[in-house]
Amino acid sequence: MIPRMDAAVSGIPAGEEARPRSATVSDIFLARLGALEKRVGIELERSAPSLGPAGEYALHVARLGWRAASSLAAGATTAAGRRELFAAWTAGGPVDELGFDAGLAESVREIVKPLSRRWLGLHEAGSSAFPERGGVLLLVNRSAWPIPIEALVLWAWLGDGRLAGRRLAVLWDADFPELPYLSDFFRRIGLVAATRENASALLERGAVVLAFPEGVAARTKTYDRRYRLARFDSHGLFAAALESGARIVPGAVLGNEDSYPLLGSFGLIPLTAQFPLLGPAGILPLPVTWTIRLGPALEYGGERQDASATDAIMDAVRARMQACIGELLAVRSSR
């Protein structure tokens, strides 16, 4: 038998019965918000007819954004949740010895992946066997666009099972401006400045390093000079690869230089078919199909290389990359 609770002990004034707490405005709002969240979530997950590449990408991003917003709203309803969210924003996730945040990289890859798969139709054609272990310097051509959008596209595609879970980093222009929060964000997912020191540190630890040996020289390639390799300005990258004993894999990408057709420039501002005409949307690549081909690893002696030998290897890589581009162009023109 449950003992009777005395009114004085229970905090209920004598002679009064306990009344249920009336719902507050906040309770009603949260209940309705929860119901709305459930309905929107069901609609976003529902299968939809073919929407084309733009519609599929927008739907995918909307689903990811809604899930993130729902988690954020749920965490912000309590004081403890707000403290945890603030700690996550300020401290970031755990990083490995290279300073990479695997959790953040996977989240960003899920957002960028539809851009490479659906918007650009990025696929591989006729590649050679890729080295399974040890540091690898993977070199491909690039467009004239100075913002590392194509670097992110290729990073997401390579990291999506192509490299079997190996750590992947991307080297981009060393003069890319240091921006608050954004620069740290890039570093945490593995996009760092193309310096000899960074290349050495990554290759010595067995990472796969994607780089663009044309560097800033590619920014002057107008549309009529697309797919003609500019001079290589990355002597330090080759020296780092040779000193660390890393494999050098020449490759080529077809479509990226069509997605950013450089028509000219206004000072430091590039003028393309979509930028600045389309405003901020102009930073996205035009939906041209991208094809990537990875050639065989370059064979070179293990003995110490001098400057002349490094120059010879650079010339050999440049010749292989240009030949690979020519093969992809020939296949495309024959269709």
Residue 267: the pLDDT is 84
Kindly state the tokens that stand for 205. Answer: 């630890």
C-alpha closest to that of 249 among 187, 163, 308: 163
Among the candidates 43, 66, 91, a domain finishes at 91
Query: H or E stretch including 300?
Result: none
Show which of 41, 72, 91 is a domain's final residue: 91
Torsion of CA 28, 34, 38, 40, to 10 degrees: 80
41 & 70 share domain: yes
Dist CA 283 CA 278 (whole Å): 9
User: 3-state class of 36 per DSSP?
Assistant: helix
CATH code where residue 188 lies: 3.40.1130
Q: What are phi and psi of 285, to 5 degrees?
A: -70, 150
Q: Report which residue type is found at 335.
A: R
Question: How much is the pLDDT for 178?
Answer: 74
Q: With respect to residue 15, please indicate whether it lies within any of the assigned structural domains.
A: no
Would residue 8 count as lying in a domain?
Answer: no
Q: By the 8 A CB rule, do 242 and 313 touch? A: yes
Pair (151, 282) in one structural domain: yes
Same domain as 247, residue 128: yes
138 & 276 share domain: yes
In a domain, 159, yes or no: yes
Q: Two tokens at 296?
A: 């065989």
In a domain, 176, yes or no: yes
User: Are 148 and 208 within one domain?
Assistant: yes
On whether both 139 and 250 belong to a single domain, the answer is: yes
Question: What's the pLDDT score for residue 285?
Answer: 96
> Residue 21: its pLDDT value, please?
55
- 114 and 80 share one domain: no
Indicate whether 117 and 65 sit together in one domain. Answer: no
Q: According to the model, what pLDDT value does residue 299 have?
A: 81
Check whether residue 115 and residue 59 sit in a common domain. Answer: no
What DSSP string describes 199-223?
A: HHHHHHTT-EEEE-TTGGGGGG--G
Q: Which domain holds residue 49?
A: 25-91
User: Which pTM does this prediction carry?
Assistant: 0.74
Which pLDDT score is estimated for 11? Answer: 45
Whole-number Å distance between alpha carbons of 196 and 203:
10
Q: Along the 335 residues of the chain, how does pLDDT read in single tens digits?
A: 444 444 444 444 454 444 555 667 666 766 776 676 667 666 656 665 655 655 655 665 566 555 555 555 555 555 665 555 444 444 556 777 778 888 889 889 988 988 998 899 999 998 888 998 899 999 999 999 999 999 999 999 999 888 877 889 999 998 887 777 788 889 999 999 999 999 999 999 999 999 999 999 999 999 999 999 998 977 899 999 999 999 999 999 999 999 999 999 998 899 999 999 999 999 999 999 999 999 999 987 655 567 778 888 999 999 999 999 999 999 999 98
Judgement on whether residues 249 and 153 belong to the same structural domain of the protein: yes
Amino acid at 19: R
Helices (H), the chain: 7-10, 25-45, 52-75, 79-91, 102-114, 149-157, 182-189, 196-204, 235-244, 256-259, 307-333
- Predicted confidence at residue 97, as pLDDT, reads 77
Residue 318 maps to a domain: yes
Same structural domain, 83 and 106: no
Domain count, the chain: 2
Q: Is the dihedral of CA 260, 263, 269, 273 positive or negative?
A: negative
What is the phi/psi pair of residue 240, to 5°? -65, -40
In a domain, 79, yes or no: yes
